[in-house]
Structure 1
Amino acid sequence: MTLKDLNQVRNELIDMLEELEDRLDRITKDVRHTDAPLAKDFEEQAVETENDPVLESLGETTQIEIDKIRQALSRLDEGSYGLCLKCGEPIKKERLKALPYSSFCIHCAEKDSNDRV
């Protein structure tokens, strides 16, 4: 990848990171009910908190994606971006374009997912 390509990837990753951090902040506020305190009535509280498990799951997924983006930014700084962490081979540009924080080539990613089944 050229320096221009790497700078473009960095900018895309930073934009994604900022968007995800903002989303995580909103999710956290919703789960903690910081905008408005919970009602004193137990039934009302149940209604107000019924979506909390879904929001918590979304928050966990968002945090995982944030971590992957930060790792990709670290690999950019180290000069190892675009190389598979498992086999060391280059990750295809098409895969990196679709998933810029990918850390595995498609072969290793597929093998890893098959190993988990």
Structure 2
Amino acid sequence: MTDYSGLKQQLEQRLADLLDRAEVIEDDLRHPLDADFGEQAIDLADDEALEGVDDVLRAEIGQVRNALLRIENGTYGTCANCGKPIAEARLQARPIATRCIECAA
């Protein structure tokens, strides 16, 4: 079994960073609307953009959590498609990878 402790630590740090960023966005989205209709329009447009960013963050949070789960259950580093090992260089470049480079292509 390969030692993924370094990658696990990177993934845990990435997860913490993503959760912090998502919390800031959620706090921004919870603000009450301004009484001025012009400001409301601007706020709503900003909120729409923030919701898009939040969606991307939430998707990555899920991928990082899944990678950490795969480390815990011993399936990390194995291609979910063909079952072959995922190259260490690929995991270093993309720690959330679930497929080897051949299957990902």
Question: Which contiguous aligned blocks of 4+ residues in structure 1 show a shift greater than 3 angstroms?
Answer: none
- Within 5 Å, give how 1:100-115 maps onto structure 2: 100-110=95-105
Deviations 1:38-70 (A, max 9, x none): 211211111222212211111111111110111
TM-score (norm 1): 0.83
**Alignment counterpart, residue 91 of structure 2, candidates 75, 92, 96:** 96
Q: Find out whether 1:71 has 2:66 as its counterpart.
A: yes
Aligned to 1:10: 8
| Residue 38 (structure 1) aligns with | 33
Q: How many residues align?
A: 105
Normalized against structure 2, the TM-score is what? 0.92
Gaps of 5+ in 2: none
RMSD across aligned positions (CA): 1.3
Structure 1: which 5+ runs fail to align? 111-117
Structure 1 residues 51-60 or 10-19, which shifts more?
Answer: 51-60
Report the Cα offset of residue 109 of structure 1.
1.6
Alignment pair present for 1:51 and 2:49:
no
| Equivalent in the alignment of 1:28 | 26
Q: Which has the higher contact order (CA 8 A, sep 6+)?
A: 2
The share of aligned pairs that are identical, in percent, is 41
Quote the residue 2:57 is aligned against. Answer: 62
